[in-house]
Amino acid sequence: MRVVVVGQFKQGKSALVNAIINAPVCPVDDVIGTAVPTIVRYAAEPSATLFTEVDGLEGLQSKSIPVDSLRQHVTEAAVAHDGVRPVRVEVGVPSQVLADGLVLVDTPGVGGTRQAHSASTLTMLPGADAVLMLSDASQEYTDPELAFLKQSISLCPTLTCVLSKIDPHPHWREIAEADRSHLSTADLDLRLVPVSAAMHMRAVSAGDAVMDAESGVPELLDLLRTEVTDRVLDQSGIAVRQQVLSVVDHLSLALESELQILRDPAEGAGVVRSLKGAQAAAKALGEKSASWQQTLNDGIQDLTSDIEFDLRDRLRNVGREAELLIDDCDPGDAWEEVGAWLADSIAQAVGDNFVWAHQRSEWLSGAVAEHFAIEGAVDLPQFRLSDTDGVLNPIAGLDRIASGALSLPQKFLIGMRNSYGGVLMFGLLTSLAGLALINPISIAAGMVIGGYAYRQESAQRLERRRNMAKVAVRRLIDEAVFQISKESRDRLNHTRRLLRDHFTVMADNMRRSLNEAIAAAQAGAAADLNGGIRRITELEVWETALRDLVSRAHALDSSGTRAGAVA
């Protein structure tokens, strides 16, 4: 069971993974965060394998690394060098918690300036059996966290919320209630489990069962072993049932055709004629000009156009909101806040676009499958988009905007430069009344004009900073569209190839099944009386076996009979 641990930066994901397996495997640091996904599974001996992308080489390259050197490969210090980019690390640990097949995936933090991490984490969710979403007890859920929750549950419905780091926050219970209220308001029926990884590790070291229970980690483990496992088995049961019924349909076609003719030879010609008609339809499905091929090609073209337009529309809206935000502040003073907001908004827009593309791909799969309704139960492909290791390339950061603060000498020089004309002009006017060129009146007038000019220049400087900030935002949006559009097109091309190959194989299977059914029907029509009776008895045994198999497959929908059905 593959459990992906997700959450924003520095929420305690690595510490929780260590607490679950009772081993300090994933590096934990107060400043440096995880930047490379770490997959932890059971192994008899500790081991670690690093997978990298290397310029000029196809596919991922793997090499064994020391387990105690993970910090050098999975943290933010693990930057690409010499054309080698770390993709993921797989770690084997002799932990009894993992012995039954549990696999934990520690992911990079999402949100903030880590848009690439957000996209990378989202690609893991369709292939996950369950997700643990972490948020620490320092504050209640934020809008980006709720948005990421909605994205995640669309890709993996088996999701559990975890309130981490409850030990340093005495008011964690109020935060937990606030989080539950936010989940209810957002129509998210999710369970929230408060935990403290540090408390659990101390309790295990001291052998304190009471402290361990207070840490919440045992409750989370029980949840993974019972409720989460049950949900995963239910979903797996549905998938297995669909595949079994599809295979039974193929097997039953030849068996039922032959049995029908043996029982009533007068219907032989009609059965063969009906099968040949179905054979012609199946042969048509295998042609390149088949209607399902046209549905697939047209659907992919429409999907590509819609997804690209949706992406551009979302990012344009982010750009407009950013410009409105810039108009309401001094970007020189609030540029870091603007950059953080912009990064969160881009990450959310990219995530929403990814989720919609995934849902539209599943819809297109169903639309193509309608052309195969002649077969009965249609086995749909599984969209394991996490298997594509080419994730969104990092987006360049915002250009730096200098602060608009002026030093005291700068303010003095600007004021003197602009007040000089006022002093001279009013000095000449007052000199007609016999006053000196520099007098109280000319000095006061110069100060008023200098102050007005200073305010005007400050406003012009602020407008220039705002224009520079808007240009920087537009440049970042263009870079995001460029990077994400490439990833989106690659993902949709992968979807097209997956659907094409899957339904091509299905068409071949249908054609082969119908050929076998026709051959069986013709053999039944040519059988003599004694041979036909023996054959009927034999086929009825197989018919009973297939019916029993169908009953067991349908039983996979019921949790009460699932274990017996699987056995």
**Are 495 and 515 members of one domain?**
yes
On whether both 67 and 163 belong to a single domain, the answer is yes
Q: Is residue 389 assigned to a domain?
A: yes
DSSP 160: E
Is residue 95 assigned to a domain?
Answer: yes
Q: Is residue 567 part of a domain?
A: no
Exposure string for 103-117, b = 16+ CB within 10 A, e = fewer: bbbbbbbbbbbbbbb
The DSSP code sequence of 29-94 is: -SS--B-S-EEEEE-SS-EEEEEEEETT--S-EEEE--GGGTHHHHBTT---BTTEEEEEEEEEE-
CB 148 within 8 A of CB 351: yes
Domain of residue 442, residue span: 408-458
C-alpha–C-alpha distance, residues 279 and 514, integer Å? 6
pLDDT number for residue 245: 83
For residue 339, being part of any structural domain is answered with yes
- For residue 130, the cross-strand partners are 3
Q: Are residues 74 and 127 both part of a single domain?
A: yes
Do 201 and 153 lie in a common domain? Answer: yes
pLDDT, position 389: 38
**Pairing mode of beta strands 84-93, 47-54:** antiparallel
For 10, 311, 464, the CA distances from 339, given in Å and listed in that order, are 19, 20, 18
Sorted by sequence, the CB contacts under 8 Å of residue 189 that are 6+ apart come out as: 183
Same domain as 349, residue 430 = no
pLDDT of residue 91: 93
Tell me what pLDDT residue 203 has.
Answer: 92
Same domain, 279 and 383: yes
The angle subtended at Cα 512 by Cα 509 and Cα 514, nearest 5°, is 110
CATH code at position 94: 3.40.50.300
Looking at the structure, tell me whether residues 499 and 432 fall in a common domain.
no
Evaluate whether residue 285 is within a structural domain. Answer: yes
Say yes or no: 102 and 175 in one domain. yes
Does residue 10 lie in a domain region?
Answer: yes
> CB under 8 Å to 429, separation ≥6 — which residues?
none
Where the chain has pLDDT below 70, the residues are 77-82, 111-120, 264-289, 373-379, 382-398, 402-407, 410-428, 431-437, 452-454, 521-532, 557-567
What pLDDT sits at residue 269?
62
Task: Evaluate whether residue 503 is within a structural domain.
Answer: yes
The answer as to whether 238 is a domain residue is no
On whether both 125 and 208 belong to a single domain, the answer is yes
Q: Could you tell me the pTM of the whole model? A: 0.67
DSSP-derived letter for residue 24 is -
Q: Are residues 364 and 509 in the same domain?
A: yes
Mark whether 416 and 275 lie in a shared domain.
no
Q: Residue 319, class by beta-carbon neighbours within 10 Å (0-12 exposed, 13-18 middle, 19+ buried)?
A: buried
Q: What is the pLDDT of residue 114?
A: 47
E strand intervals along 250-385: none
* Domain count along the chain: 3
Domain boundary among 509, 526, 543: 526
For residue 211 the two structure tokens come to 């402290």
Q: Do 493 and 425 belong together in one domain?
A: no
